[in-house]
Amino acid sequence: MDEKALSSFRTLCEIDAEEFNRQHQLDQMQAISTLVSRGLHGGTASYRMLSELVRKQIVPRTALIRNTMFRVLTAHGIPITSDNATEIKDVVISEIRRQFQTMESLYLSKVGSEGGAQNFTDSNRKILDGEITRTRVEIDLIAEAAPMRNPRDSNSTFVFNGPVGVVQSGESNFAQNTQTLGADANEALRAALHLVLQHRDDIENARGGSAEVVELAEESLSELAKEKPNGLKLKSAIVGVAQAIEFVPKVESAYTSLKHAASLLGITLP
């Protein structure tokens, strides 16, 4: 793997991990304060609540790490192929394990190493194993698709319809805009949208409803699956999702992933 790309990946992951860890420690302090006030600190309830904080970060963190790798590879013009897939998987999974070990250490530093606490750690490790398997499969799928991608045909045609002056002048006019939509960028955006959908409960609690966000995310995924996505429809749906979740604290990681993935398609989010 290119050294510059590897350096970029590690730097971005370190920045993201620092913010995740900061928020995680704040959440721990708040949880411990609640437990102490209820006289529950040090028992099973303590293990469960603090372990839950770790569990909630596993999926968002691993998704962000994968998206960071996809983003870096795209920026450096490095396609994922059978030749480099193993190395890329090793780098991504190593970073996932490193960040999980940090979370696990923060958890055990608060509850100790008693058997009860360890049981909850084992449960989180099973979730981690699932995310590592997902990482391997996603990267393998991209690598397997590489031989089927013809560089000359790698552009997807986006069809835009809009008012006079937006597309081109003239009543009922029609124009086409061709935008590069590489498999890596497509996969990064799909992963970000799936991450948004995984947070539907948090969105529901924060907004009093999640149906609109879910509909827009699923609409975006549907467009991405098409041979010739409608660019205006795709952008509109993605921007709609972003605006809906931008200020939802518990969905910050999903919003960040969506923003980075959208930028690969030339879609700028606030």
The CA-atom distances, in angstroms, between 85 and each of 12, 39, 141 are: 20, 51, 10
| Residues 159 and 257 occupy one common structural domain | yes
252 Cβ neighbours under 8 A, 6+ residues apart: none
Of 124-138, 171-185, 227-241, the range with the highest mean pLDDT is 124-138
**116 and 180 share one domain:** no
CA-derived radius of gyration, the chain: 21
User: What is the average pLDDT across 145-150?
Assistant: 64
pLDDT value for 148: 63
DSSP symbol at 208: S
What pLDDT shows up at residue 5?
93
Answer yes or no: is 270 within a domain. no
CA 70 to chain centre: 11
Considering the domain architecture, whether residues 13 and 24 belong to the same structural domain is answered as: yes
Helix 3-37 and helix 44-75, axial crossing angle in degrees, nearest 10: 160
SS (H, E, C) 38-105: CCCCCCHHHHHHHHHHHHHHHHHHHHHHHHHHHHHHHHCCCCCCCCCHHHHHHHHHHHHHHHHHHHHH
Same domain flag for 139 and 159: no
Between CA 108 and CA 124 the distance in angstroms is 13
The whole-number pLDDT of residue 184 equals 64
Do 46 and 161 reside in the same domain of the chain?
A: no
Q: What is the mean pLDDT of residues 46-54?
A: 74
Q: Region 142-151: what's the mean pLDDT? A: 69
Q: Where among 99, 119, 148 does a domain terminate?
A: 148
Last residue of a domain, one of 92, 117, 148: 148
Both 192 and 132 in one domain: the answer is: no
The whole-number pLDDT of residue 201 equals: 84
> Are 188 and 129 part of one and the same domain?
no
In which element (H, E) is residue 236 found?
A: helix 231-245
Domain end residue (candidates: 148, 163, 194)? 148
Q: In which domain, by residue range, is 60 found? A: 3-148
Do 97 and 225 sit in the same domain of this protein? no
Tally the domains of the chain.
2
Residue 269: inside a domain: no
Is residue 147 scored above 80 in pLDDT?
Answer: no
- 166-179 mean pLDDT: 42
Say whether both 119 and 173 belong to one domain: no
pLDDT value at position 154?
A: 42
Percentage with pLDDT > 70 across the chain:
76
| Domain contains 31 | yes
Give the model confidence (pLDDT) of 98-118 as tens digits: 988 888 787 777 666 555 556
